[in-house]
């Protein structure tokens, strides 16, 4: 009867947590102006959809978002909301993964894990962001949970589900390679602890090693068919996403082309990855500086997770109930990720904290549940002091992440004072100006937006048309304009550029955009235009928008 009640009540509680988490991800999802990385990838996705072609470019990471968002854009139209929708939905459903670990965790621990995955400020913020990090963490941890279920139940179906899910993780971002490396390292540390414990039981460590290797080999042999099938599933998912398009579709119709497509999806992908990420790109920074930044983000965005993970790890290691491998494994995994990402990251960014806080959520859940048990024991025994301290810790465990998440994701999602915001996020509220430009482009004939200055100029841009170079990802001046090309593509606005003040005199476009250093020069050519300034980056690069004031002038011939 107790097991039946558990199977009824725990899934309901997890579903409620996930429902709230989903709402938290989707409410006002499109309010924040696009980060430059979001705008860059979203604009390229529109281009892939338009030309019906795609090829792997490691600078934008895996193909999952371009492919899936291409479908979303076709169905719902391009916008900041739809660009972030898939990440938001996956991030909102992520807490349900806690159910997969129910054989290794108590009910209260499963629920606490779901809560931490639902409301950690870093996970909330980057679930509302068109990036791959939350997708990678969600898919990888789901695959891990399915593998754990396969081991605990002896049912191959969990392995056959986990393999393609891990394949999806591999389509999101290249640092998927760090996950099995961290898992292997954590397993070795867990094994080392077992060897030390064996000595206290007067069991020879070599005997433990032999038994473990024998059990592993026997298990692999017993599962040889599901493992092979799972590996095939993983490769199929990988090739389906990484194969160049439309080459893959043509190869399916003409199998003689299939070997070349498979080579491009596998060997070619590996070569592209190594060309960009295998050299010195990741080493051109101070590891200590990056580690300090990552620790700061982890502590600010995940103070509850960090504090309770330490408590959960120590309690699991030295407590009376005995050590559970999953708890120690997750703590080692999180600690290794903290150091590892400081070494391999190419820029300082808050999104790397996702890969530290997700594994630490497991021992943190154990720590929270331990405090909850102390609360119940204190109430039962009449120990008011213990009960009061435990209650206070639980209140902090709930209110701290929720309060920080509200502040960072809703109150100030693009403020320079927000530690989760990365440098390439434009500061301030640019959306009203963008909406006005959209309205202008709908009514205007001819060039709608003129970029002014050497940095924005495109030599081949005439009458609003410029070739988008697939190799570089843009054209002359395009990257300096980010995130604006993403919005102007949505508006179907006609965009041009110039370095000539005289050209402004002649054309008098309804919208002119320039850097602040050129603003006074432009202002002398645009009599009566309204002048609005927005930060292009978090701290600097002011962009000045000149908006034509007279509505009647919008319809004049150009």
Task: Report how far residue 3's alpha carbon sits from residue 9's, in angstroms, rounded to the nearest whole number.
Answer: 10
Residues 6+ apart with CB under 8 A from 430: 33, 534
- Hey, what are 147's tokens? 């593998």
What is the chain's pLDDT, residue by residue, as a tens digit (558 residues)? 455 555 578 999 999 999 999 999 999 999 999 999 999 999 999 999 988 889 888 888 999 999 999 999 999 999 999 999 999 999 999 999 999 999 999 999 999 999 999 999 999 999 999 999 999 999 999 999 999 999 999 999 999 999 999 999 999 999 999 999 999 999 999 988 777 776 666 677 777 778 888 888 988 899 999 999 999 999 999 999 999 999 999 988 888 899 999 998 899 888 888 887 665 555 577 889 999 999 999 999 999 999 999 999 999 988 877 789 999 999 999 999 999 999 988 889 999 999 999 999 999 999 999 999 999 999 999 999 999 999 999 999 999 999 999 999 999 999 989 999 999 999 888 999 999 999 999 999 989 999 999 999 988 775 555 555 545 455 668 889 999 999 999 999 999 999 988 888 888 999 999 999 999 999 999 988 999 999 999 888 899 999 998 665 444 444
Helix axes 384-406, 303-318, angle to 10 degrees: 140
| Spatial CA neighbour of 137 closest among 80, 181, 178 | 178
Residue-level pLDDT at 279: 57
3-state secondary structure string across 18-81: HHHHHHHHHCCCCCCCCCHHHHHHHHHHHHHHHHCCECCCHHHCCCHHHHHHHHHHHHHCCCHH
Is the sign of the CA dihedral 488, 493, 498, 504 positive or negative? negative
Q: Are 301 and 350 in contact (CB under 8 A)?
A: yes
| Spatial CA neighbour of 48 closest among 429, 473, 341, 402 | 473
Q: What is the DSSP letter of 554?
A: G
Distances (CA, A) of 497 to 42, 140, 507: 22, 44, 11
Instruction: Give CA angle at 126 (11, 96), nearest 5°.
Output: 10
Instruction: Classify 528 as helix, strand or coil.
Output: coil
Task: Report how far residue 76's alpha carbon sits from residue 83's, in angstroms, rounded to the nearest whole number.
Answer: 10
Q: Are 328 and 190 in contact (CB under 8 A)?
A: yes
Instruction: Give CA angle at 239 (237, 241), nearest 5°.
Output: 70
β-strand pairing of 530-535 with 511-515? unpaired
3-state secondary structure string across 266-296: HHHHHHHHHHHHCCCHHHCCCHHHHHHHHHH
Instruction: Give CA angle at 135 (287, 191), nearest 5°.
Output: 65
Q: What is the DSSP letter of 529?
A: -
Residue-level pLDDT at 323: 83
What pTM, to 2 d.p., does this model score? 0.93
Task: Report how far residue 121's alpha carbon sits from residue 402's, in angstroms, rounded to the nearest whole number.
Answer: 7
Residue-level pLDDT at 286: 84
- Hey, what are 293's tokens? 């930044």
Residue-level pLDDT at 306: 98
Q: Are 420 and 301 in contact (CB under 8 A)?
A: yes
Q: Count how many residues are written for the chain.
A: 558
Q: What are phi and psi of 104, to 5 degrees?
A: -110, -10
Query: What's the gap between Cα 61 and its chain centre?
Result: 11
- Hey, what are 68's tokens? 């899936």
């Amino acid at each position: 009867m107790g097991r039946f009640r558990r199977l009824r009540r725990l899934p309901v509680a997890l579903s409620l947590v996930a429902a709230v988490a989903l709402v938290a991800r989707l409410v006002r999802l499109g309010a924040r102006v696009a980060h430059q990385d979001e705008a860059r990838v979203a604009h390229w996705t529109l281009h892939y959809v338009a030309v019906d072609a795609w090829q792997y470019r490691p600078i934008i990471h895996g193909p999952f978002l371009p492919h899936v968002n291409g479908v979303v854009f076709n169905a719902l139209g391009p916008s900041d909301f739809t660009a972030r929708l898939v990440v938001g939905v996956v991030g909102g459903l992520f807490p349900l993964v806690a159910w997969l670990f129910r054989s290794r965790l108590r009910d209260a621990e499963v629920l606490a894990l779901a809560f931490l995955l639902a409301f950690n400020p870093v996970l909330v913020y980057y679930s509302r962001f068109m990036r791959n990090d939350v997708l990678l963490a969600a898919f990888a941890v789901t695959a891990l949970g399915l593998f754990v279920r396969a081991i605990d139940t002896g049912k191959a179906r969990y392995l056959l589900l986990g393999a393609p899910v891990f394949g999806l993780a591999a389509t999101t971002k290249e640092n998927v390679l760090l996950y099995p490396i961290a898992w292997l390292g954590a397993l070795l540390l867990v094994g080392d602890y077992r060897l030390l414990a064996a000595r206290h039981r007067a069991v020879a460590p070599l005997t433990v090693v032999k038994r473990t290797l024998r059990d592993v080999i026997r298990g692999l042999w017993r599962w040889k068919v599901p493992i092979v099938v799972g590996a095939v599933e993983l490769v199929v998912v990988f090739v389906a996403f990484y194969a160049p398009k439309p080459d893959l579709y043509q190869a399916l119709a003409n199998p003689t082309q299939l070997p070349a497509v498979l080579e491009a999806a596998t060997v070619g992908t590996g070569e592209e990855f190594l060309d960009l990420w295998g050299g010195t790109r990741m080493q051109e920074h101070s590891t200590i500086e990056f580690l300090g930044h990552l620790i700061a983000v982890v502590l600010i965005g995940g103070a509850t997770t960090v504090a309770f993970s330490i408590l959960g790890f120590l309690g699991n290691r030295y407590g009376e109930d005995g050590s559970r491998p999953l708890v120690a494994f997750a703590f080692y995994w999180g600690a290794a990720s903290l150091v590892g990402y400081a070494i391999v990251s190419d820029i300082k960014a808050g999104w790397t904290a996702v890969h530290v806080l997700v594994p630490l959520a497991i021992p943190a859940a154990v720590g929270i549940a331990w405090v909850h048990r102390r609360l119940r024991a204190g109430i039962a025994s009449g120990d008011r002091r213990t009960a009061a301290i435990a209650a206070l810790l639980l209140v902090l465990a709930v209110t701290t992440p929720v309060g920080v998440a509200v502040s960072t994701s809703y109150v100030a999602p693009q403020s320079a004072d927000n530690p989760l915001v990365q440098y390439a996020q434009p500061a301030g509220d640019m959306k009203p100006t963008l909406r006005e430009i959209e309205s202008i482009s709908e009514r205007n004939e001819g060039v709608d937006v003129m970029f002014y200055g050497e940095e924005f100029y495109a030599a081949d841009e005439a009458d609003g048309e410029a070739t988008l170079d697939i190799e570089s990802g843009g054209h002359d001046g395009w990257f300096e304009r980010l995130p604006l090309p993403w919005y102007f593509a949505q508006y179907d606005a006609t965009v041009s550029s110039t370095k000539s003040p005289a050209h402004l005199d002649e054309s008098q476009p309804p919208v002119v955009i320039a850097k602040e250093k050129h603003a006074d020069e432009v202002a002398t050519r645009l009599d009566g235009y309204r002048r609005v300034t927005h930060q292009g980056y978090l701290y600097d690069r002011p962009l000045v928008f000149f908006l034509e004031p007279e509505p009647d002038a919008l319809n004049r011939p150009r």
